[in-house]
Amino acid sequence: MKLNDLEKKMLGGELGAAIKAAIEHQVKVGEFFGAEDFVPVTQAHIMADTESLGEAGVAWLESMARSKGQVRVPTITDPRGTDFTKVGVLKHPAWIVELERRAIEAFKKLGVLMTDTCINYQTIQAPARGESVAFGDTGVVIYANAVCGARSNYEGGPSAVAAGLTGRTPRYGFHLDGFRRATLRVRVGFQPRTLNEWGALGGLIGRLAGNYWAVPYIEGLSAAPGSDALKHFGAAMASFGSIALFHLEDITPEAAESGGSELKISHQVNEADVEALQSAYAVEEEIDVVVFSAPQLSLYELRELAALCDGRRFTKPLLAVTSPQVKPDADRFGLTKIIEEAGGHVLSGMCFYQSYAREIAEANGWKRLATNSVKLVNILGGYGYVPLLATMERCVEAAEKGRLPK
Amino acid sequence: MGSLVKGEALVAHDGFSARYDLDRIKGVFSRPAHKLAGQSYVGKVLVLHTAKGGVATAWMLHDMASRGIVPLALVLNSVNPILVQGAAFGNVTLLVGFDGDITAQVPHAATVEIDPAKRTLRVL
């Protein structure tokens, strides 16, 4: 890779051991992908729950902090592995809490802002069109690329830490114009109505597209979806297909110039296809727990959830997970109180699947999990759950009656 | 990327994500729908189709390596940046991109040699 004078100093260790380690990692990755140089980034976002980090990852973070590393651009965090105020609800053992505390302490020493959110584009600062960033959550990356028109690859934790420390990232993939052009054209034959339908549609298109370098161009939607719908749509597409960018005809900012309308239609997705995907996650009616998470809930989703919870009394646990930025507003507006008076729990700063889902299941005896998140049902099978997909309304009813209504 | 290794190949035309597919405590593929479900991945050369899912693999390969329950190498038709970042961070041998479908060319359970410097995979 071609390095400028500053980057050469970083690589030579003149700016400290942490910066040197960071740029060495970035050069290794950049050279693998044939990056010619680095692109400066305005912000970095780090996925770093301790279930993923493990003891080794936390020790690495601590070593970077001991080396006096300091981030050069605003650097924020994805959800943590627990909500410290709800440890008793989750039944997280002390070792998980301690590992989380160590990771947080190391991040703070590096100058990282502990935002603990996977909806930073709704709550912290959405990137602008053309802005190069280093984001580290698939749902965040796909939203930033597709909806905002910003530029990011998937930056896994170590790479996002490195980008924060160096203020740059290798210029490859979705930082380059050529990779942002549509590669397949998908015709959609219906307009999703609920968040789980948006998620299911995204999941189907992700599965059809099939790999990171595919860029779907999607046409046929009759109305522009809102931010929460696009959040579930993108998160599910990224989860099912490892997709980082899509274009929606007449909706997303780069659709017109993506070349998608010039491609032959390769796939048609209809309502029956979405129903079939949802049916695959409707294998049981009895439930053990209801979870709203993945991505974290916006204020508007919590508002809708609170209205559905009002006056009910749950017989099964209901967890609603949001960001630390939204939670205080949910408290102020009385939404938390309504949900928790019904017997639910509003958690913040974590995300269910990033919070030791296997350990939570074993400690609480939870197996059959109902949710409206297509991303969550796609992930949790590997953690031993029987994930059940339903609308928010049906999930709330299931928390009350112990089974999903027909 | 990584060093030359020899080992037994675990082959499937399926995706790979450490979070989605593995029980990283027991060292087995745990996702019921995965074609390698129930099989141990420890010390094996995983010959798979493509990367899928999220970003956690970038940390998880490093963590698995520290605990000695990591695949010996990853061989895929295509990857996302996460597998490359994870292999770089965890020092796991990675070979990507072939003339044909590599999962159709390597017999399951064959002993293979991966040489990243020469960009070759040999069935021994």
Spell out the domains of chain B, with CATH numbers in brackets: 5-123 (3.50.30.10)
Verify that A390 and A303 share a domain, yes or no: yes
- CB proximity A159 to B under 8 Å: yes
Tell me whether residues B31 and A381 touch, CB distance under 8 A.
yes
Mean pLDDT calculated for residue range A260-279: 97
> In this structure, what CATH number is given to the domain that contains residue A299?
3.30.499.10
* Candidate from A53, A353, A378 with C-beta closest to B63: A53
Q: Quote the CA–CA distance of A379 and A385 in Å, as a whole number.
A: 9
Instruction: Assess if residue A155 is contained within a domain.
Output: yes
Q: How confident is the model at residue A406 (pLDDT cuts 50, 70, 90)?
A: confident
Cα-based angle B21, B25, B27 (whole degrees, multiple of 5): 60
Q: A153, A172, A191 — which closes off a domain?
A: A172
Is the Cβ of A55 closer than 8 Å to some Cβ of chain B?
yes
**Sole residue written with tokens 């490359």:** B84
By the 10 Å C-beta count (0-12 exposed, 13-18 middle, 19+ buried), B57 is classed as buried
**A25 & A127 share domain:** yes
- Inspect the interface and report whether the beta carbons of B56 and A60 lie closer than 8 Å: no
pLDDT band with cut points at 50, 70 and 90 for residue A381 = confident
Q: What is the mean pLDDT of residues B43-60?
A: 92
In the three-class reduction of DSSP (H, G, I as helix; E, B as strand; rest coil), residue B54 is classed as coil
Residue A213 forms contact with B (CB below 8 Å): yes
Region A287-297 average pLDDT: 98
- Give the count of Cβ contacts less than 8 A between chain A and B: 136
How far B40 CA lies from chain A's nearest CA (Å)? 14
Domain limits at A129? 5-172
Of B34, B53, B85, the CB nearest to A159: B85
Q: Are A157 and A191 members of one domain?
A: no
Is B33 within 8 Å of chain A by CB? yes
The dihedrals phi and psi of A368, each to the nearest 5 degrees, come to -90, 105
Yes or no, beta carbons of A154 and B80 under 8 Å apart: yes
Locate the chain B residue with the closest alpha carbon to A357. Answer: B19
A33 CB within 8 Å of a chain B CB: yes
- pLDDT above 90 as % of chain A: 98
* Domain presence at residue A366: yes
Q: Which of A28, A158, A212 sits opposite B59 (nearest CB)?
A: A158
Report pLDDT for B20: 87
Residues A16 and A152 in one domain: yes
Q: Are residues A41 and A58 in the same domain?
A: yes
User: What pLDDT does A189 receive?
Assistant: 96
Nearest chain A CA: its distance from B105 CA (Å): 20
pLDDT 10s digits, A112-156: 999 999 999 999 999 999 999 999 999 999 999 999 999 999 999
Residues A103, A104, A107, A113, CA torsion sign: positive
Q: Quick one: average pLDDT of B9-35?
A: 92
Distance CA A206, CA B52 (A): 10
Assess whether A60 and A22 both reside in one domain. yes
pLDDT digits (tens, 9 = 90+) for A208-234: 998 999 999 999 998 889 999 999 999
Average model confidence (pLDDT) across chain A: 97
Please state the rounded mean pLDDT for residues A29-34: 96
Q: State the Cα–Cα distance between residues B57 and A393, nearest whole angstrom.
A: 34
Q: Is A74 helix (H, G, I), strand (E, B) or coil?
A: coil
Question: Does residue B54 have a pLDDT over 90?
Answer: no
Based on the fold, state whether residues A321 and A353 are members of the same structural domain. yes
Interchain CB distance below 8 Å, B62 and A54: yes
Q: Is residue A189 part of a domain?
A: yes
> Cβ of B58 and A157 within 8 Å?
yes
Is there a contact between A32 and B52 if contact means CB atoms under 8 Å apart? no
Q: Are residues A396 and A318 in the same domain?
A: yes
List pLDDT tens digits, range A328-351: 999 999 999 999 999 999 999 999
**Residue B53 pLDDT > 80:** no
* φ, ψ of residue B87 in degrees (nearest 5): -65, -40
**What's the domain count of chain A?**
3
Query: Which chain A residues are within 8 Å of B80, Cβ to Cβ?
Result: 154, 211-212, 242, 244
Mutation site, B59, B61, B67, interface A, largest A CB count within 10 A: B59
B15 vs A contacts (CB less than 8 Å): 242
Does some domain include residue A57?
yes
Q: Which residues of A touch B79 (CB under 8 A)?
A: 212
Same domain, A145 and A118: yes
B56 touches chain A (CB under 8 A): yes
- Most B CBs within 10 A among A141, A211, A367, A377, hence the mutation to make, goes to A211
Among A236, A263, A278, give the residue marking a domain's end: A278
Same domain, A236 and A151: no
Same-domain status, A151 and A25: yes
Any CB–CB contact under 8 A between B63 and chain A?
yes
* Structural domain contains residue A160: yes
pLDDT in tens, A44-74: 999 999 999 999 999 999 999 999 999 999 9
Mutate to test the interface with A, among B16, B30, B52 (most CBs of A within 10 A): B52
Decide which of A145, A172, A199 is a domain's last residue.
Answer: A172
Counting residues of chain A whose pLDDT is more than 70, the rounded percentage is 100
Residue A323: pLDDT band with limits 50, 70, 90? very high
Question: In angstroms, what separates the C-alpha of A154 from chain B's closest C-alpha?
Answer: 6
ipTM, 2 dp: 0.93
- Check residue A378 and give its pLDDT: 94
Q: Is it the case that residue A402 has pLDDT exceeding 90? A: yes
A256 found inside a domain = yes
Cis-peptide, bond into residue A328, ω within 30° of zero: no
**For residue A70, what pLDDT is reported?**
96
**Given CB atoms, is B53 within the 8 Å cutoff of chain A?**
yes
d(CA A153, CA A256): 21
A406 located within any domain = no
Look at residue A292 and tell me if it is in a domain: yes
Task: Output the six-digit token pair for B44.
Answer: 């094996």
A394 and A302: one domain?
yes
φ, ψ (nearest 5 deg) of residue A75: -130, 125
Mean of pLDDT values over A163-185: 98
